[in-house]
Amino acid sequence: MEIRDIIPYAKGEREVDLLVTNARLINVFSGTIEPQTIAIAQGQVVGFGEYPAQEVIDLQERFLAPGLIDAHCHIESSMVGIREYVKAVLPHGVTTAVTDFHEIANVMGTRGIRLMREGMGATPFNLYCMLPSCVPATPLETSGAEIRAEDLKDLMAEEWVRGLGEMMNFPGVIHGDPEVLKKISMTQAHGKRVDGHAPGLNGKELAAYIAAGIASDHECTTRGEAEEKLNQGMYIMIREGSTAKNLEELIPIVTPANACRCMFVTDDRHPADLIAEGGIDHCVRKAIRLGLDPVIALQMATINPARYFPLPEIGGIAPGYRADLVVLEDLKEFRISQVFQAGRLVADNGTILPRVIDEKKVKAENTVHLPKFSAERFRITAQGARAKVIELVPQQIITKKGSHEVKTHDGLAVADPQQDILKIAVVERHKGTGNIGLGFVKGFGLKEGAIASSVAHDSHNIIVVGAEDEAMAQAVHGIAEIQGGLIAVRDGKTLASLPLPIGGLMSDQSIEEVRDALNRLHQKVKEMGCTLEEPFMALSFLALPVIPELKITDRGLVDVTRFEIVPLFGEA
C-alpha cells in the first residue's frame, strides 16, 4: 500500500477489511503477551483497537504471532516446485523463506534462479533469495554452470535478493581469492548481507573470515563453536534440518542478552519431514520443549531474521507490517490452527485452503544431457590387489577412507556384494562430456541391481551404486529417460523411480506424491538388501568433495583432506 492509502485506514476513517479481536498478541517488539485487537486492510496491519471492519474474527483468547521466517533454506531439498513447497509449509505457519538456490544454480546457473522465482506465480508467500556464492563448489567436478561475480550483478540489485548465500568456500575467503572477494564486495556495495558456512572454523582463520565481511553462520555443531562465533560478532542461525540437527546442542547458548542475534533455519528439509513436522515451527516447538522461553523462541523465528536481512515489512505485528499471522492454540505444544498471509486466511488446522495455491504445473525442462554408453564404461581394470574404498558412516555425511582387497575377474576389479563392496560411479550429465568417475563403496549392503540419482551434491551429476555393471548402466539410462530423478533397477527391470524433471532435482507433482514415491523406492531398495534408512540421501552426499574423507566426482576419486583426485588402487 502507498503511504497515503494506509493513513486513512490507520486513522479509522475508512472501513478496514478484517478485525481480529480477543487475541493474546505475542508482541515480538516488547517481548510481552498482551490482549489485543488487530485491524487489517489491504494485506497490512493498520492499527490496534476497535475499527470499523467488513469482517471480524474472534480469536477467543488464542495466541497470535507473526508469520514464521526460515532464515536459510534450499527449497530444492523439498524435491518439489515452489508452489508445492509453499503448500507444505504454509499450514505450519511459515510465511517467509530466505532461500539459497544453490542446487538449481549448479545445474542451470542464474537462469535456474529466475525459473524458480517465476515458478512462484501469485503464490501467497514471501520469497527472498540469497545468491549462490559457490557454483561450482569445487574445481574437482563438472557442474552444469559456473557463476562468477559478474554473473550476479543484475540479480544482486533486485529487491527480493537480500545478499550472498552461504560462503562455503571459506578457504577461498581466508586465502583472499580475488573472485570470492569480488562477490563479497559487490554484495556489501549494495548494503546487503553475506551469509556464512564455516563448520568448525575457529581462531585466527575465523577472525579472517569474519573480518572479510561474513555476517552469519548456520554450521555450528557445538556450543563452544557457536559461542566463539557469536562473541566475534556473527549472527547465529541455529539449524534443524532433516539430516543436520543442531538445535538441541545449541539452544543452551541462547540468553536474553544475545537472543536478538540468534535465529532458526532448516537448511535442508525433505518432503516427509515438511509434511509431518513442518519447518521453522518445528524449530520453535522443539526449542520450547527444550526449555527456551516461548517469546524468545518466536522472536528468533520472526523479528530477528527480519532485522538481520533486513526484511522491514515483516517479522512483527504493528502498523505498516504485512499481516502475516499465525494463530496458536497454546504456547507449550505450539499448536498452530489458522495461518494468514497478507491478511488472507490461507491455512486452517494444518490444511491449506482451496484455491490458495494456483495448481498450474511448473514447466519442466530437460537438464539431463547424456551420450548413450554401454555397461563397459563401468569396467575397472585391476591395477593392484588393494583399492581405496569409500566407507559410509551411519547417520553422517562424512565418509571414511578405507582400503580393501578387491575381487577380480578376467583382469577386472568387480563388485563384491558378499563383502558389501559395491561399485560407485559419477556420470557427468550436464554437458555430455562422457566423464565417468569410478570407485568402490562400502555400507549400502545391496545384494543385487543398482540405484541411481541425479540429486548429487553439489554439481548434481548422476551418481550410481551397483552390484553389476549392466544394472548400473541401465539405472543411469533410466534416469536420463525420466529427465532426472531417483531409480532402483534389478534383473533388467526398473523396480521403482521418482522422476524429478525440474533440473533433475525437483518433481512437478504434488509433495504428497513425492513422499509416497520415495517410500516405494525405499521399500524396493530394502528388498535389494540395502540396510540404510535413506539410501538416496546417503548417495546424494557421496559426490560432495568438501566433506571428508573420501568422495567421488565425474573426474574421479577425491581425497578431501588433500583436496585432489587420487588413484583408485593402492593404500588409502
Residues forming contacts to a copy of itself in the complex (CB under 8 A) are: 3-4, 6-12, 27, 29-32, 34, 44, 46-49, 173-174, 176, 178, 181, 184-185, 191, 203-205, 207-208, 210-213, 227, 230-233, 255-258, 260-261, 295-296, 299, 307, 316, 318-321
Min separation Cβ 90 and a copy of itself, Å: 24
Rounded Cα distance between 76 and 275, Å, is 15
Q: What are phi and psi of 271, to 5 degrees?
A: -55, -50
Q: Which three cell numbers stand for residue 433?
A: 562430456
d(CA 551, CA 245): 22
CB of 173 to a copy of itself, least distance (A): 8
Beta carbon nearer to a copy of itself, 303 or 506: 303
Give 210 or 480: the residue with its C-beta nearer to a copy of itself: 210
Smallest distance, a copy of itself to C-beta of residue 321, A: 7
Residues 123, 83 contacting (CB under 8 angstroms): yes
Q: Quick one: DSSP state of residue 416? A: B
Give the nearer residue to a copy of itself in terms of CB position, either 139 or 312: 312
Cell 550483478 appears where? Answer: 153
Contacts for 455 with CB less than 8 Å, ≥ 6 apart: 79, 103, 486, 500, 504, 505, 536, 540
Report residue 64 as a C-alpha cell. 497470535
Is 122 or 257 the residue whose CB approaches a copy of itself more closely? 257
CB of 295 to a copy of itself, least distance (A): 7
Pick between residue 228 and residue 277 the one whose CB is nearest to a copy of itself: 228
Q: Tell me: cis bond preceding 227? Omega within 30 of 0 counts.
A: no
Question: What is the Cα–Cα distance from 258 to 256, expressed in whole angstroms?
Answer: 6
Coarse DSSP helix, strand, coil percentages of the chain, rounded to the nearest 5 percent: 30, 30, 40
Output the smallest distance, CB 3 to a copy of itself, in A. Answer: 5
Length of the chain: 572
- Nearest residue to 81 via CA among 125, 136, 27: 125
Q: Distance between CA 528 and CA 523 in Å, rounded?
A: 9
In the complex with a copy of itself, the residue whose CB is nearer, 178 or 394, is: 178
Q: Tell me how far CA of residue 572 lies from CA of 58, 103, 435, 500, 530, in angstroms.
A: 67, 30, 23, 35, 25
Nearer to a copy of itself, 199 or 213 (CB): 213
Inter-CA distances, 498 with 226, 290, 369, Å: 38, 37, 18
Angstrom distance (rounded) from CA 129 to CA 121: 16
Task: Report the residue number, 157 or 393, with the smaller CB distance to a copy of itself.
Answer: 157
Task: In angstroms, give the least distance from the CB of 342 to a copy of itself.
Answer: 15
Q: Could you say which DSSP state residue 384 is in?
A: S
Which residues, other chains included, contact 315 with Cβ-Cβ below 8 Å and sequence gap of 6+?
Answer: 28, 66, 69, 302, 303, 304, 305, 306, 307, 321
Shortest gap between Cβ of 35 and a copy of itself (angstroms)?
12
C-beta closer to a copy of itself: residue 53 or 392: 53
Instruction: Quote the least distance from Cβ 298 to a copy of itself, whole Å.
Output: 11
The CB-of-205 to a copy of itself minimum distance in angstroms stands at 7
Minimum CB distance to a copy of itself smaller for 314 or for 426 = 314
Nearer to a copy of itself, 167 or 537 (CB): 167
CB of 36 to a copy of itself, least distance (A): 9
> Element (H or E) spanning 47, and its range?
strand 44-48
Shortest gap between Cβ of 546 and a copy of itself (angstroms)? 20
Q: Which position has the grid cell 505450539?
A: 334
* Cis amide prior to 178 (ω within 30 degrees): no
